[in-house]
Chain A
């Protein structure tokens, strides 16, 4: 089973709203990554975090590496229609070199 718990599983956004999602684990990770996947495509890296407490931005995206190393957060400010997609968190443990992915947060547009 998955070691990373991502929430929410899905959410509706309205253009202009801020969006938040998070990823938690019972294990410590040395690196946290956030990916976005569009339909029919592979995941694309958005932000990489390498140090506990680190806060990194990429345009309207901001992600934080939790101080406990067991969680990470992604915020999207002033959402636009192209923000729709599936967002995945991924972590690399200190002792290993494999990416472990969360279950994804599906971002949809409010009808």
Chain B
């Protein structure tokens, strides 16, 4: 069975450029989560979708960050414009119904903004 799929696995870009991270959740899962991991702040929840609808985006750092889930099998996290402090590993996770249930994490996208 395919797990959560994320692309790209690595991204290096210059400050000011737009960055789009992609996620395909596990088929049949109704909840999708975007996390950011840094050494300083650890793992932080950015946004949480249930049935393709954003439920909680209070973790999104600022207006430069946006996330969409146009259908049950695809989500994007976009940063525009990117800044060096956005450098981190971004994880997507999915669960069958809600956050309380087991969340399965993807391999992450390692982003470096120069």
Q: Write the nearest CB–CB distance from A63 to chain B, whole angstroms.
A: 14
Asked if A104 is at the interface of the complex by the 8 Å CB criterion, the answer is: yes
Cβ A43 vs Cβ B43 within 8 A: yes
Cβ B105 vs Cβ A102 within 8 A: no
Q: How far is the CA of A40 from the CA of B6 in the complex (A)?
A: 13
Cβ A97 vs Cβ B98 within 8 A: yes
Cβ A43 vs Cβ B105 within 8 A: yes
Q: Which of A17-39 contact B (CB under 8 A)?
A: 31
Cβ A98 vs Cβ B99 within 8 A: yes
Asked if B49 is at the interface of the complex by the 8 Å CB criterion, the answer is: no
Asked if B108 is at the interface of the complex by the 8 Å CB criterion, the answer is: yes
By beta carbon, the residue of chain A nearest B98 is A97
Q: How far is the CA of A41 from the CA of B106 in the complex (A)?
A: 7
Asked if B54 is at the interface of the complex by the 8 Å CB criterion, the answer is: no
Which residues of chain A have C-beta atoms less than 8 A from B105's C-beta? Answer: 41-44
> How many of B's residues come within 8 Å of A, CB to CB?
23
Asked if A82 is at the interface of the complex by the 8 Å CB criterion, the answer is: no
Asked if B56 is at the interface of the complex by the 8 Å CB criterion, the answer is: yes
Which residues of chain A have C-beta atoms less than 8 A from B44's C-beta? Answer: 101
Asked if A48 is at the interface of the complex by the 8 Å CB criterion, the answer is: yes
By beta carbon, the residue of chain B nearest A104 is B42
Which residues of chain B have C-beta atoms less than 8 A from A88's C-beta? Answer: 42-43
Which residues of chain B have C-beta atoms less than 8 A from A66's C-beta? Answer: none
By beta carbon, the residue of chain A nearest B42 is A103
Q: How far is the CA of A100 from the CA of B33 in the complex (A)?
A: 13
By beta carbon, the residue of chain B nearest A50 is B100
Q: Write the nearest CB–CB distance from B98 to chain A, whole angstroms.
A: 6
Q: Using A92-B99, A97-B98, A98-B56 as known contacts, say yes or no to A42 and B42 having CB atoms under 8 A apart.
A: no
Which residues of chain A have C-beta atoms less than 8 A from B91's C-beta? Answer: 42-43
The 8 A-B pairs with the shortest beta carbon distances in the complex, nearest first, are A42-B105, A101-B43, A97-B99, A103-B42, A42-B91, A43-B105, A45-B102, A98-B45
* Residues in chain B within 8 A of chain A (CB atoms): 4, 33, 41-45, 48, 55-56, 59, 91, 93, 98-100, 102-108
